[in-house]
A and B are shown apart, each in its own frame.
Chain A
Amino acid sequence: MINVIEDFVRRFNAEIRLDETLLVKKGNSYFLLNDTLKRLVAKDFFYAGLYLGKSKKDRFFPSFNLLRIIAESKANKVVVDRKTEWLFICGRDIFKRGIKKVVGSKNRGSYTLILNMKSECLGYGKILHNLDKPGKGVVIKNILDIGDFLRRESK
């Protein structure tokens, strides 16, 4: 069960430690409990503890909780300015001029977390053009951002 999550985390050149004895899978969704919740939870729960994400047709869709946990570790990260933060949470891709700092991989094809200037995780994306090379235009494709909470409500 933990492999699905670990494989996803490795995309960011990161490693996190999750206590497998506290991981539970309900349908396609993964949850991380603590000792108290593990003692109390019944098998027909709807949601429990920290939601980590869900798998669907061999793809893993992370929760923002998991992205935040990854962001606390050594991982690929891009810090963006305030204007880019706003555009990103509106679902837009990232232009090079909006990037303030890059940690970890700058290479095309890498996955990276997107942080604001306060190091808060806003989501993640995929690098489309090497970040250490000169250029303009979109350099990171938005894959998931916290504006998703609003988009879910309107569905």
Chain B
Amino acid sequence: MFGKEFFAARYAALGWKYEDVTPEQAIRINTMNCDEEKVVRRLEALGIELEKIPFLEHGYWVSHSNFSLGATSEYLLGLYSIQEAAAQIPTTLFTELKDKIVLDACAAPGGKTVQLADSMGNTGAVIALDVKKQRLTALTNHLERCRVKNTIVYYLDARQASKLKLKFDRILLDVPCSGNFSTDKDWFKKRTIKDVERNAKLQREILAEATKILKDNGEIVYATCSLEPEENELNVNWAIENLNLKVAKTSCYGERAATEIFGKRLDGQIENCRRIWPGKTQGFFVCKLVKS
């Protein structure tokens, strides 16, 4: 069970007609390091055309640039990050982040870790974990470039986060997932339903561990860039049934998630999740979970 036809038929059953898309490049201004308007003006003076992303506070689509956005002084000075628009959404779902103790459980390469630090104004603490050591270097380069100073990084599997013996106010679970075709042109050749199921299991294990170390009034934001319901609606439904979590209402960009998937009726709270089909952004799924 693999291939473009197989997956496209599943998307059709979920209400979306497959189309080949290329998401637009986007940036996010690191407001902890600069005045946003001034940076936008600086970039425009370089000939970079920016368009404000309507559903993000500090995000811009890059309409046109004659050179690599990763090679400007402004980028190297940490004034902005190159971060896909949908990937900027999860962090914005948390309520009040300043002075909080936050876990970024699957942090590398660090785009969202920097965004967390930015939203926190470098206050409190971000504990960032990743299980792949070679990816930690990319993460720490990102932290140094963006002048992040409130983060501790560990080489640790998110499924073992309780070893840290800490309780967290906020937990970001941008979990390892199957990805989607909009950011990987060979996706349909590489992925099978078995991969999806394997990732879904791993994600449930991470969700279970995160629930153990979440403070009673804490918040988990769960996100994937997978389009597959096993990694999204079905996993969140499992968390409602098994982890005593509930899905908080959100008003972020995206469609309400379906409460019936391939004939299976899910908990009504699932409609508080948001599903973003590929288009100007990549495909994405995001929700906020709290303890019941």
Contact = CB atoms under 8 A, between A and B. Distances in A.
Interface stretch (A1-9, A36-44, A94-102, A133-141): A36-44
Secondary structure type dominating chain B contacts:
mixed
A49 B149 contact: yes
B147 A65 contact: yes
Contacts of A116: 73
Contacts of B164: 42
B127 interface: yes
Contacts of B152: 37, 40-41, 45, 47-49
B101 A40 contact: yes
A141 B101 CA distance: 43
Given A40-B127, A42-B164, A68-B147, A86 B73 contact: yes
B154 A46 contact: yes
Interface stretch (A11-19, A103-111, A142-150): A142-150
A47 B125 contact: no
B138 interface: yes
A51 interface: yes
Contact of A46 (B70, B76, B101, B155): B155
Given A45-B152, A49-B152, A149 B76 contact: yes
Secondary structure type dominating chain A contacts:
mixed
B145 interface: yes
Interface residues of B, number: 28
Contact of A89 (B76, B139, B140, B154): B76
A48 B164 CA distance: 14
Contacts of A63: 144
B32 interface: no
B73 A45 contact: no
B115 to A, nearest CB: 17
Interface string B122-162: 00110100000000111111011101011111110000000
Nearest to B123: A36
B77 interface: yes
15 contacts: A40-B125, A40-B127, A40-B166, A46-B154, A47-B140, A47-B152, A47-B153, A51-B140, A63-B144, A86-B73, A89-B73, A146-B76, A147-B76, A149-B144, A150-B70
